[in-house]
Amino acid sequence: MEKTSPVFVLLSHVLQISAIASAIIDNIPFTTMMIQIVLRLANNEALGLPLSPLIWALAFGACFGGESSI
C-alpha cells in the first residue's frame, strides 16, 4: 500500500478548511489571518514544507468558499 505524502495531506487540509471557513465568514479577513499561519508552517525547518503550494491551496480554497453561500 502506498504511503500518502504529509505535504499532500496538509495541502488538502488547508484547501478544505479555507473553503469551509470562507463560506461561513468573509474570505478576506480569514485569508489575512491564515497567511500568518501558513508562513509559520513554511518557515518551520523541522516540517520542511514548501511555501508556494501552501499559498496556492489557501488562495484557491478561500476563493472557492467565498463564491458559495450557505
Interaxial angle between packed helices 6-24 and 51-67, expressed in degrees from 0 to 180 and rounded to the nearest 10: 30
Tens digit of pLDDT for each residue in 10-22?
Answer: 999 999 999 999 9
In this prediction, what percent of the chain has a pLDDT beyond 90?
57
Report pLDDT for 21. 93
- pTM of the predicted model, to two decimals? 0.84
CB-based contacts of 20: which residues, under 8 Å, 6+ apart? 65
Tens digit of pLDDT for each residue in 21-39?
Answer: 998 998 899 999 999 999 9
Report pLDDT for 69. 58
